Structure 1
């Protein structure tokens, strides 16, 4: 049974968005593995505390990711 883990910084995605992510990733997996595997396809969304994840040594914060999503900044 497949298990997919998605990690995201807390506060970036609302409950509806997380639900959509989980459904769509499940659908992608099932499109490859077959519909009979849907009941045993697990997808977990794990949230990481703002600032506890970094890229190139620069901490990712909820605030900066939301600014990137909105186009207010072009890169982290």
Structure 2
């Protein structure tokens, strides 16, 4: 019985993205650990724990909610044609 715990920053994923992540991770565990047995799905536990940005440190920088939002806005702008990137709001994370 696998138990997977995903730690992430609060607000990064939408409810739909979390559902998709849970579904795909479950599918992968059924395929690999459960050797494709559909009954194994009932034994897969996955939990997503979301924490405030201030509870994290990346490279010695404690990100703020604004820094996280800016980083993900830049990532989205690179993926979506026609959207211009905003100026950098502070230290990159």
Q: TM-score, normalised by structure 2?
A: 0.68
**RCO higher in structure (CA 8 A, sep ≥6):** 1
Rg comparison, structure with higher value: 2
Residues 15-54 of structure 1 correspond to what in structure 2 (within 5 A)?
15-34=15-34, 35=37, 36-54=39-57
In structure 2, the partner of 1:5 is: 5
For structure 2, the residue ranges without an aligned partner over 5 or more in a row are 79-84
Tell me the matched-pair count.
75
Contact 1:12 1:65 in 2 (8 A): no
Deviations 1:9-41 (A, max 9, x none): 011101000010011011111111222321010
TM-score normalized by the length of structure 1: 0.81
More strand by share: 1
